[in-house]
Structure 1
Amino acid sequence: MAQIIPVTDKKLLAKFIDFPHELYKNDPFYVPELFIAQRDMLTPGKHPFHEHAKMQLFLAAEGEKIVGRVAAIINGNHNKTKNVNEGFFGFFDSVNDQAVSQLLLNAAQNWLKEHEQTKIIGPVNFSTNDICGLLIKGFDGPPVAMMPYNAPYYLHLLENFGFAKKVDLRAYKYTAGNYSDRSVSLLEGLENRLQRSNIVIRKINLKKFKEEAAALREVYNKAWDKNLGFVPMTDKEFDYTANDLKMVLDTDFCYIAEQEGKLVGFALAIPDINQILIKIKKGRLFPTGLLKLLLGKKKINGIRILLLGVVDGYRKLGIEACLYGRIIKAFKARNFQYAEASWTLEDNDMVNRPIENIGGQLYREYRILEKSI
């Protein structure tokens, strides 16, 4: 019979990070997370999320064998911003055994209840600014960069525990030659019209990355403030994420809209680094992982359109079309084979309709669930 083990030291933390590698060792679509990145993320003092949050990690073990894991998370900024007492669960992985998942989820739920939370929401690793959602449709390939992956049986485990749907998230796919490039043909005219209002579209300047990141943070927190569950990133959180992204950033796919030096929108697509990570055993960069990473970057032929937002007051002026047009133009010029636009809220027609009009095919769906405690 399984027992619950709270993670209290580095050795147990390593087991927590490594468990999915064993669980999915025979799954050709599983992509391991980099060990060093996961270790830093889950270590208080390393990641700035912990400055306003509380977290407890749990393992489920049968004898010496690990059979599941989960994190109970209290996001202080979420509760303060929304004026709620809602807890989260994340980093959930389990063998296909209801008794094991029951033990794990009970451990997370009880810990949150002890800390006076009235609801449990997830899976969310740490917040909606990070990897979140349970894959419920589209199990026919590996996930793209910074998107979740799980076995189909997870939904049954969670629903049998009492979780119900909170919201579904969407991922759209474009394949080479199977999308509308109308925004590219209109790009010059649209940008000329914007320039009459002193609005210009340009690439990110990596030589001034620190200054660019500070301005992008402000736009990000304003442009996404109406999204369900969104909580503004702290300065330190945004900088931490920006520095991570900088390592994979390709300036052909990162564009800024500004008016007289003031940023009013931006679009970011990142190379699908998972094409390389899927080949790095157990997420270890040494001894061979780093070489695979360095040599593989030039061979990546897919992107994830991660962010595209315009601040209120500048929407519906054509900025969004120009940002999409720039990314599509670069996508064609580089002969990339696919792009994923993800994720979007299922009921966000203002975002979903343009994606569909360009030719995006809804091919994956993810669910965030909730349960009263």
Structure 2
Amino acid sequence: MKRIELVQTPRQLGTFIDFPHDLYRNDPKYVPELFIAQRDLLSPKKHPFYEHAEIQLFLAYDNNQVTGRIAAILNKNHNHYNNVNEGFFGFFDCIDDVETAKSLFSSAEQWLRNKGVTGKIKGPVNPSTNETCGVLVDGFHSAPKVLMTYNAPYYDKLLQAYGFRKQIDVLAYLYTRENFDDTRLRRLQVYMAEKLKKKGITIRPVVMKNFKDEVPNIREVYNSAWDKNLGFAPMSDKEFDYMAKDLKMIMNPELCLVAEHEGKMVGFGAAIPNINEILIRINRGRLFPFGIVKLLTGIKKVKSLRIPLLGVVEGYRKLGIEIFFYMAFIEYFIKHPHIGEVEASWILEDNVMMNKAIIDIGATLDKTYRLYEKD
């Protein structure tokens, strides 16, 4: 018998987290999330996101077999900041069965409507656009990079069957050693450096030993620079500190840059090692007993990077800071021959200027992710 159950116990939460491992157990491109990180992300008592949000998890069953999962998310901060009354879904995974997917979407939507949501239902966000989001719709040829989603090709069909339509696509570009002009890049880098110097803008690495002091300024830039981004709502101090603490563990100071003008931070960019190369070898996302050894010993051997964070505050955009950040990361890539590729993601499809600039310095479109909405 098919049924939908609310997740209410720690045991059910474990089942919820583990379901994708079973669904994709024969897919060589699937990368397991770290169990402990997912547990904390889904626990209102542990994650600061839930100081302004509510979440309800659901599991789909066919007899005693789990066939799907979903989260209904009420982000009060998002609604207040954007003056809307919307709800979100996330953490969606499902077998290739339209009826099972419809039951999950219906359960999530009904929970949100009962909470007073009258506007659109959007997603997937896990649990917000400050974390992972989107459905992969093109680019199934390779495993995802760190903090990017993965799913089977049939997900788009399941979403459309329930009435979801495309809200927007977000893009992932790839730099490889074969697809960019080193000479042109260096010439452009010299030009951009001179241009920024004339404007009084300096670029420097984050001082990791003073990371606590750097974080408030980076947070201010983040909340200012990303304010026009899709689904944006400013991160609270606790949320940003939580994210920064996680990222610090894998950050390389050479790949974490800030732009300053007259002593004020006006831009921030970071590239991080693609630890998915390691996570893909960690059974069901469990660090113990052997996973932590793989993680600690493997991080220096990672052969790819991802650029997930890059933003410039209003008034300093279109001056070349963004492109200089990208070029600095590509220069690092050039100098370290063990690194084979760099992903720049995600980029909104309607950000014409940024898409053109990324392509101009040698990137090719590699993956497309989609966000959906339903009235």
Normalization by structure 1: what TM-score? 0.97
Q: Secondary structure at the match of 2:254?
A: helix
Distance 1:186 1:363 in 2: 24
1:9-48 mapped onto 2 (5 Å cutoff): 9-48=9-48
Identity of aligned residues (%): 54
Distance 2:359 2:198 in 1: 29
Q: Structure 1, residues 105-134: CA drift from partner, whole Å, max 9, x if none?
A: 111011011011122111111111110001
CA-CA distance at 1:192 after TM superposition? 4.1
CA RMSD of aligned residues (A): 1.2
Amino acid at match of 1:80: H
Instruction: From 210, 226, 232, give the equivalent of 1:208.
Output: 210
CA-CA distance at 1:26 after TM superposition? 0.2
Instruction: From 291, 296, 316, give the equivalent of 1:294.
Output: 296
Q: Which residue of structure 2 lines up, in the alignment, with residue 149 of structure 1?
A: 150
Q: Which residue of structure 2 lines up, in the alignment, with residue 164 of structure 1?
A: 165
Query: Are 1:308 and 2:283 counterparts?
Result: no
Distance 1:109 1:161 in 2: 11
C-alpha contact 1:90 1:123 (8 A) present in aligned 2: yes
Distance 1:95 1:323 in 2: 41
Distance 2:62 2:302 in 1: 40
Distance 1:137 1:95 in 2: 19
Amino acid at match of 1:187: Q
Amino acid at match of 2:121: I
> 251-260 vs 69-78, which deviates more?
251-260
Query: Are 1:347 and 2:366 counterparts?
Result: no
> 299-308 vs 144-153, which deviates more?
299-308
Amino acid at match of 2:345: S
Q: Structure 1, residues 161-205: CA drift from partner, whole Å, max 9, x if none?
A: 111111111111111132134343343453344334432111111
Distance 2:26 2:335 in 1: 37
Amino acid at match of 1:283: G
Q: Structure 1, residues 217-272: CA drift from partner, whole Å, max 9, x if none?
A: 11111111112221111111111111111111012211111123211112111110
1:69-88 mapped onto 2 (5 Å cutoff): 69-88=69-88
Query: Are 1:127 and 2:128 counterparts?
Result: yes
Distance 2:370 2:320 in 1: 31
Distance 2:186 2:40 in 1: 41
Distance 2:19 2:73 in 1: 19
Distance 1:64 1:187 in 2: 59
Instruction: From 332, 353, 356, give the equivalent of 2:359.
Output: 356
- Runs of 5+ unmatched residues, structure 1: none
CA-CA distance at 1:353 after TM superposition? 0.7
CA-CA distance at 1:310 after TM superposition? 1.4
Amino acid at match of 2:93: D
1:1-373 mapped onto 2 (5 Å cutoff): 1-118=1-118, 119-181=120-182, 182-335=184-337, 336-372=339-375
Amino acid at match of 1:173: L
Amino acid at match of 2:214: E
Q: Structure 1, residues 266-308: CA drift from partner, whole Å, max 9, x if none?
A: 2111110100000000000001100000111111010011122
Amino acid at match of 2:38: Q
CA-CA distance at 1:98 after TM superposition? 1.3
Distance 1:189 1:358 in 2: 13
Q: Secondary structure at the match of 2:323?
A: helix
Q: Secondary structure at the match of 1:129?
A: coil
Q: Secondary structure at the match of 1:342?
A: strand
Distance 1:107 1:180 in 2: 51
C-alpha contact 1:180 1:357 (8 A) present in aligned 2: no
Q: Secondary structure at the match of 1:169?
A: strand
Amino acid at match of 1:227: N
CA-CA distance at 1:63 after TM superposition? 2.4
Distance 2:195 2:371 in 1: 40
> Residues 221, 290 of structure 1: CA spacing in aligned structure 2 closer, same or farther, 3 A cutoff?
same
C-alpha contact 1:257 1:266 (8 A) present in aligned 2: yes
Q: Structure 1, residues 48-76: CA drift from partner, whole Å, max 9, x if none?
A: 00000011000011222211100000001
Distance 1:183 1:126 in 2: 37
Amino acid at match of 2:70: V
Distance 2:136 2:192 in 1: 37
Amino acid at match of 1:169: V
- Runs of 5+ unmatched residues, structure 2: none
CA-CA distance at 1:214 after TM superposition? 0.9
